[in-house]
Structure 1
Amino acid sequence: MKSEKPTQEDYDKWHKDPKNWYFGFCYYNPKDKRLLPPKRIEWMGLTINFANPYSVMLLLPFLIIVILVLSK
């Protein structure tokens, strides 16, 4: 049985649920397959869904570049 794509209502409910936000700013929701959901304060841009392994793979090269640049 194929699972249905989440509705905008699902996304809104997940976004408002404090259990999906660690330390108030780290988003972790395995049900949400988006790589970059909106931040808790939506007008501030996007954040990483740490429950999505592809998001973490997106973050690692960025962190390595920042570390390399700052270490020079």
Structure 2
Amino acid sequence: MSSISPEEKQRLRDDDANWKLGVLYFCPKDPAFLVPKRVGIGWGFNYGSPWALVFVFAVIAILIWAIVF
């Protein structure tokens, strides 16, 4: 489980400094893999999480493998 409170998570997610270009959430302090989108409906990745980066690189590797082979 997470060591930070729900209030702290919400504070981190509302902080403009954690949103790159206004749409990419990057916060290593937030342990969440997926976070609610800032605008609209849906979810986005927390690019500060190592699991999100592993997932993105795995998808890219699968796509490259599918194109090459």
Structures share fold, TM-score greater than 0.5: yes
Q: What amino acid maps onto 1:55 in structure 2?
A: A
Q: What amino acid maps onto 2:50 in structure 1?
A: P
Higher-strand-fraction structure = 2
TM-score (norm 2): 0.76
TM-score (norm 1): 0.74
| Separation in 2, partners of 1:8, 1:63 | 32
Q: What are the ranges of 5 or more consecutive residues in structure 1 without an aligned counterpart?
A: none
State the identity %: 27
Q: What are the ranges of 5 or more consecutive residues in structure 2 without an aligned counterpart?
A: none
14-23 vs 31-40, greater mean Cα deviation: 31-40
Pairs aligned (count)? 68
Root-mean-square deviation over aligned CA pairs: 2.2
